[in-house]
Amino acid sequence: MSMQEPLYFDLNIGEILEAWQPRHAVREVIANALDEQALTGTGDVVIAEMGDGWAVRDKGRGFHYEHLRQNENAEKLTSSANVIGKFGLGLKDALATLHRHGVSVEIRSAHGDITVAERNKHGLDRNLLTLHAVIRPASDPQRVGTEVIFYGLDAAEMIAAKAFFLRFSGEEVLGRTCYGDILQRVAGRRARIYVKGLLVAEEDAFAFSYNITSLTSAMNKALNRERTNVGRSAYTERVKAMLLACDAPAVFEILAMEIGKFDEGTVHDEVRWTDVAVHGCKILNQAEQVVFVSSAELQASPDTVDRARRDGYSLVPLPDNIRTKLSGQCDDTGAPVRGLDVFTKQWADSFEFEFVEESRLNAAERSIFALREQIAALAGGWPEVVREVLITTTMRPNADGRCDAAGLWEPSNRRIIVKRDQLGSLGGFAGTILHEIAHARSGEPDVSRGFELALTDLIGRLASHALEDGPEPTQSPVKLETERPREA
C-alpha cells in the first residue's frame, strides 16, 4: 500500500444491532484483547483513559486488517477453553455500533493503522454508502501488540464495558471444577453468570456467581451475537454440575447455610434443585450435628424432636421431596445422613435402661406390679420364652420415634421391660404386659400379620374370662425374676 493512498476494506455489515450501546462495542474490543493475551501468554491487557479518549492495549501479535474478513477463527476454536470469542463478527459489529453512536475508533499495530469511514460500495453504479475500514501504514512499525483508541466515549460506557468481564469484577473464586468456577456473590449485587469470563446473564435468586468454562451444546446455541440475556435453561445443567463436583470448603459452608434457610423461606434457588440440596445435606451431615426433618415429622414426633435438641443437635426442616430423597443416603465419610429415623435408631442403639428394684417402688406401684401373674394368666400364662419382667424409669422410643414406648419385649435377653409410669394405673400396666406377651408369643413386631393374630388370640382369651367368669388364674410354672440390681 502506498504512503499516500489508504486501502479501503468493505466491512459488509448488512444488519446493525440496534440494541447495542457503545459499552457492548467496547466489550468486543476488550474480549479480543483478552483472547490475544490468553493465546500468546503475553502481559496483562491495559485499559487507560487518555486526554481525548480511552485506550485498550494488549501485548500480542498485533491486529491485521485481514482479521476483519474472518467468519470463524480456527485458532480460537482449537483453544476454546481459554478464549471468549470464536467469530470475527464481534469486531465488525463493534465498529458499526461505535460509528452509529458518534464514537471514533483507531486501531494501531505494527501492521497498520485502521479507522472507519462511510464510502460508496465498490462495483455499483448507484450511490450506496457502506462502512469501510480505512487502512494506512503503521504510525509505529515497532509497536508491540495492538492499541485501540476510542474518541468521544463517555467514561460511564467504558466502566459499563469493563463490568462485563470477570477479570474486572472483583469477584472471588471459591471453588474450581472441570466445568468452571464458583464465585463469591458480591454483596448488594445480583449474582452473575459468566461464560469464559464474559457476563451473559444475571440472577437475583442465586447464592453464588458462576464462570462456566466448559460449555454444553445448548449453551453454544444460546450464545448469540449479542452475548447477553442468555436464558437460565441454557446454563442450569452446568451450574448444577459445578455444585455437585466442587469440593471446596468455602462452597460447602454457604451451601450448608442455605440448607438451614428452608424453614425461613429465604433459601436461594440452587438448593431448591433436589440433587444439589441432597448434596448440601450430605455436606452438612458430615460437618455438623444436625437432624433433617420434614414438616410432617416435626408435627408427628415432638418427643423425639425435643430429645434431639436436648442432645445438642440442630433441627434442619426440609421440603418433603428432599427429605424423602435423603432416606438411606450416606455422606462422603460413609455415615448415614441423619434423618429423624436415623437419629431414633442411633439413640435407641446407645440407650441404657435405668432399672428399678421392686423394693424401691412406692406402695401403690408395688400393689399394681404384684398383679402381673394374674394379668399374665388372663392371657393363658407367660410364654415359655419369658424369663423376667423389669421396671425402668427410662425407655427407648417406639418404632416410629414419636414417643417413648410403654413397654418392650427383648427376645435376646428373654425379658419384658415396662416403663415405670405404666404403674400409675392398673389398666395401663395390664395393657402393656398383655401387649408384650403378644410380642413374645408371636415373635413378630408391631403392625405385622403375626402380631395381629397373636393379639387377636389374646383378646379372645380375655373375653372368655370376662364372659364365663372362670376360675381364679393360677400361678405360671415360669419363675419370674423381679428383683434385679440397677444396670449401668
Could you tell me how far CA 298 lies from the centroid of its own chain? 23
User: Domain map of the chain by residue range?
Assistant: 7-164, 170-246, 261-347, 355-468
- Extract the C-alpha cell encoding 246: 466442587
CB 132 within 8 A of CB 46: no
Q: Where are the alpha helices (H) located in 288-335, listed in sequence order?
A: 295-300, 302-310, 320-326
Closest CA to 28 of 145, 188, 123, 162: 162
Q: How far is CA 89 from CA 15, 17, 21, 205, 340, in A?
A: 11, 11, 16, 33, 59
- Do the two domains 7-164 and 355-468 of this chain adopt the same fold? no
Q: CA 421, CA 429: separation in Å to the nearest integer? A: 9
Q: How far is CA 430 from CA 117, 268, 279, 406, 463, in A?
A: 103, 54, 48, 11, 15
| Domain at 355-468: CATH code | 3.30.2010.10
- Tell me the one-letter amino acid at 234: A
CB 275 within 8 A of CB 248: no
- Extract the C-alpha cell encoding 84: 471468549
Please name the residues in contact with 78: beta carbons below 8 A apart, sequence gap of 6 or more. Answer: none
Q: CA 380, CA 165: separation in Å to the nearest integer? A: 84
Query: Residues in the chain with pLDDT < 50?
Result: 1-2, 87-88, 474-488
User: Among 3.40.50, 3.40.30, 1.10.10, 3.30.565, what is the CATH number of 7-164?
Assistant: 3.30.565
Q: For the residues of 13-54, what is the DSSP string, one character each?
A: -----TT--HHHHHHHHHHHHHHHHHHHT-PPPEEEE-SSEE
Q: How far is CA 336 from CA 303, 327, 328, 352, 432, in A?
A: 22, 9, 7, 22, 33
User: What per-residue confidence (pLDDT) applies to 218?
Assistant: 74
Cell 464495558 sits on residue: 161
User: What per-residue confidence (pLDDT) applies to 12?
Assistant: 76
Tens-place pLDDT, residues 59-100: 999 998 888 875 555 555 555 555 675 544 578 889 999 999
The conformational region for residue 69 under phi > 0 = left, psi -120 to 50 = alpha, else beta, is alpha
Q: What is the pTM for the complete model shown?
A: 0.67
